[in-house]
């Protein structure tokens, strides 16, 4: 894969300049060849402008632009994920920002990176009491534990999970992570 956009061989202009010239230049070979060269230069630009909305759709944009688009929306990507995971992360980024720091947001971020829903335990809680000075919900010390069961875990997975949880957790919350092998069901 190359590093960026380029010209497209044989791409015709969607708005040829020669057809827009005054009638006196319609039969002028020099004028038509001159603006034909401009058409070749402008055709890729006009093509991008004609298809501009697709560049901002993670499902349709070219892969290199999807990576760049991911930096715009703050997608949690590392540059090693598959194309499908990259597109899913970019598409979900704005939705994940709304739930960032919540249990649901953390679970969705981990699921997007690893393809597996994690087990999350935390110390928080919420409750309502009719009388003041009721007992506080949750544990007195904050804690967060994220366990992930993968079919074939590697040491790199634990590091990736640690980095991801550190970025997606509530800022004040101490945390631990655990990556282990998923239990396999016996084959019949």
Q: Is the dihedral of CA 79, 84, 87, 89 positive or negative?
A: negative
The boundaries of every CATH 3.30.70 domain in the chain are 103-188
Secondary-structure class of domain 103-188 per CATH: alpha beta
CA distance 57 to 33: 37
**Residue-wise pLDDT tens for the chain (188 aa)?**
444 456 667 777 878 888 888 888 888 889 888 888 888 888 888 888 888 898 899 999 989 899 999 999 988 787 888 899 899 989 999 888 898 888 899 999 899 888 899 999 988 777 777 778 777 777 778 889 999 999 989 888 999 899 989 988 888 889 999 999 888 766 66
Select from 150, 155, 152, 124 the least CA-distant residue to 137. Answer: 124
């Amino acid at each position: 894969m190359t590093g960026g956009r380029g010209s497209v061989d044989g791409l015709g202009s969607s708005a040829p300049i020669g057809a827009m010239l005054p009638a006196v230049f319609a039969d002028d070979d020099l004028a038509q060849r001159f603006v034909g060269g401009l058409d070749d230069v402008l055709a890729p630009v006009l093509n991008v402008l004609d298809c501009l909305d697709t560049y901002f759709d993670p499902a349709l944009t070219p892969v290199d632009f999807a990576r760049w688009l991911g930096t715009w929306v703050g997608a949690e990507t590392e540059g090693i994920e598959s194309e499908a995971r990259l597109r899913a992360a970019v598409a979900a980024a704005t939705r994940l920002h709304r739930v960032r720091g919540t249990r649901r947001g953390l679970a969705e971020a981990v699921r997007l990176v690893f393809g597996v829903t994690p087990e999350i335990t935390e110390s928080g809680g919420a409750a309502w009491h009719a009388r003041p000075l009721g007992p506080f919900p949750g544990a007195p010390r904050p804690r967060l534990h994220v366990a992930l069961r993968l079919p074939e875990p590697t040491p790199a997975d634990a590091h990736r999970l640690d980095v991801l949880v550190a970025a997606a957790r509530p800022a004040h919350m101490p945390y631990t992570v655990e990556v282990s092998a998923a239990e396999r069901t016996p084959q019949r």
